[in-house]
């Protein structure tokens, strides 16, 4: 279906969701590492290293059609994710780059082993006549309130909402 001109948005959060979706991701050349990704000291305004700040300033927000949008009003400058897992996808369009300092606690439980994380937390790729976006984190696509604190797309000052909209525009071929 995708190769014939369809689109797929595959979102699989941290463990246990990555391992559950890994065979589908593999069909498109994407490896899901399936653990808990962290970037020490790369978070913004939160007390945990699982909140990853992808921005143009820190160069973790990759220059891509999705980050650039169709013009200045759709240009993304910062996306915030919340733990998730890392991905590798050789030849894909990088969306959310992870730095070399990123680590991932990988299964099996109950003892997770820290290892270097994959290269990204979001990728896009053409597939035949279709398009695929794979994201290794789900909370950034939600709008939640947790213990009185905004979480996800409704945190002020980030571009997660525009990221979602631009992703849908790219998947549908609008740009």
pLDDT digits (tens, 9 = 90+) for 64-83: 999 999 999 999 999 999 88
- Selection from 142, 115, 119 nearest residue 35 by Cα: 115
Say how many domains are in the chain.
1
Is 15 contained in some domain? yes
Q: Is 48's pLDDT higher than 80?
A: no
Percent of the chain clearing pLDDT 90 (strictly above): 82
Is 46 contained in some domain? yes
Is 70 contained in some domain? yes
Read off the pTM. Answer: 0.94
Is 1 contained in some domain? no
Higher model confidence: residue 120 or residue 110?
Answer: 120
pLDDT tier for residue 108 given thresholds of 50, 70 and 90: confident
Q: How far is CA 121 from the centre of its chain?
A: 4
pLDDT tier for residue 31 given thresholds of 50, 70 and 90: very high
Higher model confidence: residue 8 or residue 151?
Answer: 8
What phi, psi does 37 have (nearest 5°)?
-85, 140
Is 110 contained in some domain? yes
Helix H or strand E segment including 36: strand 36-38
* CA–CA gap between residue 87 and residue 135 (Å, rounded): 8
* CA–CA gap between residue 89 and residue 93 (Å, rounded): 8
Is 2 contained in some domain? no
Q: Is 44's pLDDT higher than 80?
A: no
The DSSP symbol for 104 reads E
Range of 31's domain?
7-171
Q: Is 163's pLDDT higher than 60?
A: yes
Q: State the average pLDDT for the chain.
A: 93
Is 143 contained in some domain? yes
Helix H or strand E segment including 163: helix 160-171
């Amino acid at each position: 279906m995708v190769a014939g001109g369809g689109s797929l948005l595959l979102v699989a959060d941290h463990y246990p969701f990555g391992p559950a979706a890994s065979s589908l991701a593999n069909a498109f050349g994407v490896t899901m590492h399936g653990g808990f990704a962290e970037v020490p000291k790369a978070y913004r305004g939160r007390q945990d290293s699982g909140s990853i700040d992808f921005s143009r300033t820190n160069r973790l927000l990759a220059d891509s059609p999705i980050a650039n949008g169709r013009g200045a009003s759709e240009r993304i400058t910062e996306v915030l994710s919340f733990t998730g897992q890392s991905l590798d996808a050789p030849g894909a369009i990088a969306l959310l780059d992870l730095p070399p300092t990123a680590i991932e606690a990988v299964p099996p439980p109950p003892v997770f082993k820290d290892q270097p994380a994959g290269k990204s937390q979001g990728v896009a790729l053409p597939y035949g006549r279709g398009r695929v976006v794979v994201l290794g984190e789900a909370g950034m696509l939600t709008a939640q309130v947790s213990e009185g604190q905004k979480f996800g797309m409704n945190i002020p000052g980030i571009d997660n909402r525009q990221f979602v909209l631009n992703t849908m525009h790219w998947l549908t071929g609008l740009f």
